[in-house]
Every structure is written in structure tokens, then in C-alpha cells.
A = this chain, B = another copy of it.
Amino acid sequence: MRDLRENIIETSLELFDRHGFHGVSVNEIVKASQTSKGGFYHHFTSKDELLYVIHDTFITYVLKEAQAANIVHTSPVEKIQAIIRSFVHVFDLYKSHISVFYQESNYLKPEYEINMKGKRDQFKHLVFDVIREGQATGEFRKELPAEITGMAILGMVNWIYKWYRKDGTYTIDEIADVFTDLVLHFLLPVEEHVHVKNHMLHIPFFYEMK
């Protein structure tokens, strides 16, 4: 029980993940964290603030990773691969944060919500921009509407929180491999696929199988 604040966050995370934000009362959090009402409200101004802190932790991480990938790499093909890879990996690190986030984010008080929405939008537009950039250079199929295609990517990755299990059949790396492959297959023009391996950051695990 080193740091009570951290302890409360982790305990609530488990509880929220299992029963949802509204399925857990402050009293239950307090009991599970082996502290008291006083202890809780000493560290958080409200139950809502706790929710906000959970959200912010993970979304700040995602955004930073994506921005880094955007700077490190130059070609859109590499960028989109790196973004998907790091994005998918976040689910390994912050699975319960993300579950809570998507299940409860619409209950956030306005003052918190504005902050969150900004970061989410930044990330979304980063993805859109990479797609548009790839279309401009001719590396990606020009006929695809960038917004719909972008939302397809965000959707398939975000949905991971619903089904991914750390002890499941596939590792997060394998999922990242497949997702990157799927996305490149629909982004790249058909003629380009012959050369696709030259662009690849690494060869997906399933290319040797079957």
C-alpha cells in the first residue's frame, strides 16, 4: 500500500472493468482499496475526477505514440504501419483503462469532456492526414474517401477492447501484424502490391503459414 492514490486508481480500474462505472459505488472502491471516504476524497475531488484521470492516462499515451510515429517516419506507408502497430499495442498496456473509457466516457461532466474530445480529435485527424498524404503522393488509392477509410481503421482497432484477452489465441503482435496487412491491402493500389514487401517494416507472422 505504498501510494494510496495509485492504489485507488488500480483497484477502481478492476472494479469498473468488471461492473462498469455506475456498477461500483465510492463505498465499494473505498472498501476494496482498504481506505476510507476521507482517504478517497482527499485524493480526488469527485468520482468523476477519478474517471477523468483514467481516461487521460491512456489517451495521452496513444496520442504521444502516434505523433512520434508521424515524425520518425517519412513515407505514409511506414507511418500508417507504425501508427497501427503502436495503437494496437496500447490495448495490451491499457486494456481496462480503455474498456472503462468507451463504456463511460459519455457520462463525463462537460468540464472534463471538452479536454478529452480534443485529444481524441487530434488523434483522429492525424490518421486522416496520413491517409490524405499517402493519396497525394500516389502511394495510397486516390479513390477512397479519407474520412470513411480512416474511421474504418479506427473502428477495427478500437473494437479490440471488446474481444482481446491477454491469454487468448493470438498475441497482440500477431493482431497488429494482421491489421497492418489488412489496412495496407485496402490502402495500396493493386499494382503496388507486388512491391509491397519493400515498404514493409517487417514481414507479418502469418505470411509463412499454411
- Please give the residue numbers on chain A whose beta carbons come within 8 Å of chain B beta carbons, in ascending order: 20, 22-23, 103, 106-107, 142-145, 147-149, 151-160, 162-163, 169-170, 174-175, 178-179, 181-183, 185-186, 190, 193-194, 206-207, 209-210
User: Which 4 pairs, one residue from A and one from B, show the smallest C-beta to C-beta distance?
Assistant: A155-B159, A185-B186, A155-B156, A182-B186
- Centre residue among A152, A178, A194 by max chain B CB count within 10 A: A152
In the bound complex, CA of A173 to CA of B155 (Å): 18
- Kindly report which residue of chain B lies nearest to residue A177, judged by CB atoms: B148
Task: Please give, as numbers and ranges, the residues of chain B lying within 8 Å of A190 by CB-CB distance.
Answer: 190, 193-194
Contact A142 B106 (CB under 8 A): no
Partner of A107, one of B22, B154, B159: B22
In the bound complex, CA of A152 to CA of B175 (Å): 10
- Kindly report which residue of chain B lies nearest to residue A185, judged by CB atoms: B186
Contact A145 B22 (CB under 8 A): no
Using A143-B209, A170-B145 as known contacts, say yes or no to A186 and B193 having CB atoms under 8 A apart: no
Cβ contacts A to B, 7 pairs, < 8 Å: A23-B107, A143-B209, A148-B175, A149-B182, A151-B163, A153-B156, A155-B159
In the bound complex, CA of A18 to CA of B154 (Å): 23
Other contacts beyond A20-B106, A143-B209, A145-B170: 12, CB < 8 A? A103-B106, A143-B207, A143-B210, A145-B178, A147-B169, A149-B182, A151-B156, A151-B160, A155-B155, A156-B159, A159-B159, A190-B190
